[in-house]
Chain A
Amino acid sequence: MHTYEVFLKRDGQEEYRHAGSINAPNDELALLLARENYLRRAEADLLWMVDRAHLLVGDRDFVAPNSDKPHRDNDGLLVAAHRKSQRGGM
C-alpha cells in the first residue's frame, strides 16, 4: 500500500486545498478510491493526488532556524503611527 495525499479544488479562484490522505495499492486505485471517498458529494471540480513518497519534505530542523528572527517581521504599526501623527493626530 502507498499513502497518497489528496488535494481538492473548486472551479474559480479557490486554490487547491489539502483534503486528507488515502491508502491505495497503486495510482489507478488511488484515483478511483479518492473519487468515492472524497468526491461523492461533489466536494470539488478538480483533484490532485500525490504519493507521499514523492513529497519534498522540509523537516523541523530544516524549517526551525527561521522561527526566532523577529527583525524580519514588519507589521507596519510603527510606520502607521508615525504617518498618523504627521497628519495632525486625528
Chain B
Amino acid sequence: MTPMTPGTAEFLLAFADDEHLMGQQHTEWIGIAPFLEEDMAFASIAQDELSHAALLYAIVTDKGQGGPPDDRAIDRLAFDRNADDYRSAQIVEVACTGWAHALVRHWLYDTAEELRWSLVARSELEPLRDTAARAAREERFHVRHADGLIDVLVRTPDSAGRLAGAVNDVLPLATGLFDPVAGEAEAVEAGVTSAPFDTLLPEWTDRVRARFPDIDIGAIAAPASAGRARRHEDFAALMARMNEVRSIDPTAIW
C-alpha cells in the first residue's frame, strides 16, 4: 500500500506551504538587510527553504512516485490555490518589517524546522526521506546563522531590547507551527512521519528558553489556535507580491 493517502497530501502541503512562504519572506530582505553580506546570506537561506517547498510540492503532485518534477503542477499548488486552501501557519504569513522581528522569526522557525525534518527522516515515503536528509544538512547552518547574529546582538542593550520585543510579538504565532494539521494522524498511521509535530513542542520550548533566558516565556500569552485553517491578514498582500510578475503572463516559461 502506498503511504500517499489524501491525509498524507494534506500533511505535506502544510509543510510545503510553511517552507514556501518562509522562503519568500526571507528573500524580501534582499537589498535591505543591515549589511551587504547579510543581504546575500539571508536570501541564500531563503532559496534553501524554497527548494524544500518545491521538493515537498513535487511529492504531492506525483503522489510520491519520485519522478521528475512537474513544474507547472508545482506552481499551481504553490501559487494558484484559494487562500482558504493553504495550510500555512500564521508565523510565515505575518509581515515582519523590522530586522529584529525577521531575525527572531528566522531563529524560531528554523529551530522548529530542524525538529520537524527529524520526524520524517525515516519516513515510509522514500522521496520524503531523501528530502529530509538533504534539508537536515542545510538546516544546521540556518540555525547557526541565526544564532551567530543573535549572539552578537544580545551583547548591546539596544539590540537585546529589540530582540526581546520581537520575541514577545512573534513567539505566540510561532507556537502555531505545532498546531495539528488535517491529515497528520493519517500520515503517522501510514508511517510517513514518526509522530505528531506537537510532540516536539516541549523540546522546541526548551531551546527557546535556552536561547532567550532573560525572557519569561510563560508570561507571553498564547493566541487562540488558528489550526492552520485561518489566514493571517498579511497573507493576501504576500501572495499578491509573489504573483506580481507571474500574473503578467501566466503562460510564460521561467
Residues facing B in A36-58 (CB within 8 A) are 36-37, 40
Smallest Cβ-Cβ distance to A24: which chain B residue: B37
Indicate if A64 sits at the interface (CB-CB under 8 A): no
B35, B47, B141: the one contacting A32 at CB < 8 Å is B141
Smallest Cβ-Cβ distance to A27: which chain B residue: B148
A23 touches B37 (CB 8 A): yes
B35, B41, B151: the one contacting A36 at CB < 8 Å is B41
Looking at chain B's contact residues, the main secondary structure is helix
Indicate if A19 sits at the interface (CB-CB under 8 A): no
Alpha-carbon distance A5/B7, docked complex (angstroms): 51
A35 touches B141 (CB 8 A): yes
B152 touches A37 (CB 8 A): no
**CB-CB < 8 A to A40: which residues of B?**
40, 44, 47
Residues facing B in A1-35 (CB within 8 A) are 1, 22-26, 28-29, 32-33, 35
Smallest Cβ-Cβ distance to A22: which chain B residue: B37
Alpha-carbon distance A35/B145, docked complex (angstroms): 10
* Total count of chain B residues near the partner, CB < 8 A: 17
Residues facing A in B7-61 (CB within 8 A) are 35-38, 40-42, 44-45, 47
* Total count of chain A residues near the partner, CB < 8 A: 14
Alpha-carbon distance A85/B149, docked complex (angstroms): 70
Alpha-carbon distance A26/B37, docked complex (angstroms): 13
Indicate if B72 sits at the interface (CB-CB under 8 A): no
Smallest Cβ-Cβ distance to B36: which chain A residue: A23
A36-B44 CB under 8 A given contacts A22-B37, A23-B37, A24-B37: yes
Indicate if B144 sits at the interface (CB-CB under 8 A): yes
A26 touches B141 (CB 8 A): no
Taking beta carbons and an 8 Å cutoff, which residues of B are in contact with A?
Answer: 35-38, 40-42, 44-45, 47, 141, 144-145, 148-149, 151-152
